Amino acid sequence: MTKVQLERHGRIGLVTIDNPPVNALSAAVRQGLAAAIEQANADKAVAAIVIASTGKAFIAGADISEFGKPPAPPALPDLLDAIERSAKPVVAAIQGVALGGGLEVALACHGRAALPAAKLGLPEIKLGLIPGAGGTQRLPRLIGAAKAFPIMLSGEPIAAGQALEYGLLDEVVSSDVVTAAMKLAEGLAAERRRPVTSEATGRLTETDREAFEALAADALKKADGMPNVPALVEAVRGAFTLAFVEGLAVERKLFLSLIGDPRSQALRHVFFAEREVAKVPGIGPEVKPREILSAAVIGAGTMGGGIAMCFANAGIPVTLIETAQAPLDNGVNRIGAIYDISVSRGSLTPEAKAKRMKLIRPAVGLAAAAGADIVVEAAFEEMGVKQQIFGELDKVAKPGAILASNTSYLDVPTIAAATKRPQDVIGMHFFSPANVMKLLEIVRPKGAADDAIATAVALGRRLGKVPVVVGNGFGFVGNRMLEQRTRAAERLLVAGALPHEVDAALVGFGFKMGPFAMADLAGNDIGWRSRKARGLKAAVADALCEAGWFGQKTGRGYYLYPQGARAGQRCPEVEALIQRISAEQGVTRRAFSQEEILARLLDPMVNEGARILEEGVAARPGDIDIVWINGYNWPAWRGGPMFWADSVGLDVIAKRLETQAAEIGDKALEPAPLLKRLAAEGKGFASLKG
């Protein structure tokens, strides 16, 4: 079936795009549209043309999967030029989202009608791009740059009602948008009118220009090194200073240079990885999620409280359970205080806060979990504690309830073994602060029922999370790789680097914080306790904890925090201690460049990622990238650790790991077999897809 069809309805040539799932403007669609417009123009019986589409989306934009491939004609700007120059008026019938190139198609038309649920936007900025088919030129001409620029800068779509108010739409109709568009087109033909957006200039006033320049100056200040922000400013400014064709040429040049930018390539990878992660191997659409109408959370500590907030924020009633009244009250008060901060910032109304607090029902004792469709346990991270809780839950929870542990490291099947219903027991690993962080690792032990996993995935989305299904195994995906980075950071200190140098390397890479600033924030005692439980040692970290320097909460850790300061200062005592430890271990300290520090921190993580893939703990390299971007603040424009590794070259990383392994005499640093194989074949992790 062709992707674009032309039918005649009376005097209207109705062009319908049918390119599921979202009517992206693939080469076939562009060719089909060009041919249909030409044919309709040649047909004497046609007075006007309507462009409509089937399915939920009008047009979701250019086909992102075609970026980076050799361009196939017609280029979108040329097609839009043909639409705009069409001798017969063309009207867009927008029934769903019109995004990116999709909105640019509508802008090239001479009229636009939409359903109320339609959304219109130019989200290219989120892909590291700017609109590349006239969006930066036509939208400001149509609605003024002061309104157009924020739409392009935020990438967020606006609702049809708003678009009508802005003058972006001619009409919003409650149903049958195609008939409405046909009427609009008939009217234009009868009046011999063909409003051409690129010729509109009325909105580009001096006042508009001043408002745009103020917004642009602010945007440039916050651009954070992303090259598409200055590019967007330059292109939109062209709407004031250049003729349309020249402005279009500038936009095109900027767009093409951004397409080749590694940051945009990384963001496009993230776009597809985010969608792929939703597809869980072995769980098809025939597996229906169980109904979740209510939840219970066990443990009202920081984590449990944050998880309860996730449910309340999504409108799901949740019972918050503790062993005694005092910790329960503390937990509820903490939740109230967090909501209060949102209220004081204006991001939550007092009424909404009250509604959410009402959804959280505090209770003492596990019996209160009896009615819940899902129970999330967020108690102390100790196997004995978890087993006891799950054993009790088995007795009280209703049949078919999902029993999830928020464990960060522990073996989920061992927890499940405390129940007689291992098919219902899974891991749901939230990240701190649970009400903020997007990542949700869903741990799928071998015995778990498919519909239990499907339920957790669907619920995760309802909670506004990015759910990633991972296999069972110590630390799952994220923390298992983090441990490698933590070890590498400690090794660097002993070998000659100082905390601020190590942190600076990661911040320079794009992380918000380095490993030591992070450890000081989270509390160094957490890692210390975990190492002691596992019989592990880390000379510097242990020495700090033995001195009681747990981080920000004690006023000092790797850094000093005088008078509760949040930003740490270098600490001469810690630096002397590190040097002493190097001497004790017989290490001759040497200087490390920022580049070398970065490689030493990230290469072992990538190596662990390769092992995780070999073991099937993560289904795809992209899943690992999504974990790190959403749970550990890996900069999205770096694409995640596995994407980053591919961009460096796996042969380079394998060689660096071999050198380090030999130098330190640590076999764990030797390249994993998968990494070695791919490096030898000259391939990247991306080659594992599909």
Residues that bind ligand 3H9 (CB under 6 A): 21-22, 24, 57, 60-65, 76, 97, 99-101, 104, 123-124, 127, 131-133, 135, 272, 275
Shortest distance, position 108 Cβ to ligand 3H9, whole Å: 12
Q: What is the smallest separation between the CB atom of 223 and ligand 3H9, expressed in angstroms? A: 19
Gap between the Cα atoms of 547 and 529, Å rounded = 14
Closer by beta carbon to ligand 3H9, 22 or else 416: 22
Q: Smaller CB distance to ligand 3H9: residue 104 or 651?
A: 104
Residue 448 and residue 427: Cα distance in Å, rounded?
10
Check residue 9 and report its DSSP letter: E
Residue 262 neighbours by CB distance under 10 Å:
14
Pull the structure tokens for residue 610.
Answer: 């390769």
Our CB check for ligand 3H9 shows the closer of 251 and 424 to be 251
Output the 3-class SS for 287-305.
CCCCCCCCEEEECCCHHHH
Q: Least Å distance between CB 57 and ligand 3H9?
A: 5
Helix (H) or strand (E) holding 42: helix 27-42
Per DSSP bridges, beta strands 119-121 and 111-114 are unpaired
Burial bucket for residue 291 (CB in 10 Å: 0-12, 13-18, 19+) = exposed
- Helical segments of 155-301, H only: 160-166, 177-190, 206-221, 228-241, 244-259, 262-276
Q: Which is nearer to ligand 3H9, 259 or 648 (CB)?
A: 259
Least distance between ligand 3H9 and beta carbon 107 (Å): 11
Shortest Å distance, C-beta 424 to ligand 3H9: 28
* Inter-residue contact 320 to 356 (CB < 8 Å): no
Q: Which residues contact 204 (CB under 8 A, 6 or more apart)?
A: 140, 141, 144, 145, 239, 240
242 secondary structure, DSSP code: S
* Closest to ligand 3H9 by CB, 23 or 419: 23
Query: Of 124, 186, 377, 490, which is the active-site residue?
Result: 124
- DSSP lists the bridge partners of residue 12 as 9, 48
**Side-chain-side CA neighbours of residue 234 (13 Å):** 15
- State in angstroms the smallest separation of the CB of 127 from ligand 3H9: 6
End-to-end CA distance of the chain, in Å? 26
Q: How far apart are CA 342 and CA 169, in angstroms?
A: 35
Least distance between ligand 3H9 and beta carbon 548 (Å): 50
DSSP conformational letter for 340: H
Strands 12-17 and 4-9: antiparallel
Give the CB-nearest residue to ligand 3H9.
100
In a 13 Å sphere around the CA of 402, the CA atoms on its Cβ side amount to: 32
In whole angstroms, the minimum distance from the beta carbon of 40 to ligand 3H9 comes to 23
Between 209 and 252, whose beta carbon lies closer to ligand 3H9?
252
- Write the CA distances from 369 to 317, 456, 467, integer angstroms: 12, 18, 24
C-beta closer to ligand 3H9: residue 124 or 208: 124
242 within 8 A of 253, measured Cβ to Cβ: no
Question: 557 in helix, strand or coil?
Answer: coil
Length of the chain: 690
Q: How far, CA to CA in Å, does 70 sit from each of 61, 75, 101?
A: 18, 11, 18
Which is nearer to ligand 3H9, 133 or 308 (by Cβ)?
133
Residue 104 annotated to the active site = yes
Min separation Cβ 585 and ligand 3H9, Å? 51
Amino acid code (one letter) for 131: P
CA–CA distance, 83 with 37 (Å, rounded to integer) = 7
Residue 252 to residues 130, 265, 440, 520: CA-CA distances in angstroms?
Answer: 9, 17, 39, 47
Cβ neighbors of 392 (< 8 A, separation 6 or more) are 366
Q: Closest separation between CB of residue 113 and ligand 3H9, Å?
A: 20
For 441-455, give one letter per residue: b (16+ CB within 10 A) or e. bbbbbebbbbbbbbb
Q: Does residue 470 contact residue 618 with C-beta atoms inside 8 Å?
A: yes
- In the chain, the largest separation of any two C-alpha atoms, in whole Å, equals 92
Our CB check for ligand 3H9 shows the closer of 131 and 460 to be 131
Residue nearer to ligand 3H9 on the CB measure, 127 or 236: 127
Query: Considering 7, 38, 84, 104, which one is annotated as catalytic?
Result: 104
Write out the two tokens for 462: 């309802």
Query: Minimum CB separation from ligand 3H9 for residue 462, in Å?
Result: 14
Q: For ligand 3H9, give the closer residue by CB, 101 or 621.
A: 101
CA 415 – CA 427 distance, rounded (Å): 10
How many CA within 13 A on the CB side of residue 125? 22
For ligand 3H9, the closer of residues 239 and 307 by Cβ is: 239
Cross-strand bridge partners of residue 15: 6, 51
Q: Is the dihedral of CA 149, 153, 156, 157 positive or negative?
A: positive
Q: Which two tokens stand for residue 501?
A: 């140098």
Shortest Å, Cβ 76 to ligand 3H9: 4
Q: Give the residue numbers annotated as catalytic, written as ranges.
A: 104, 124
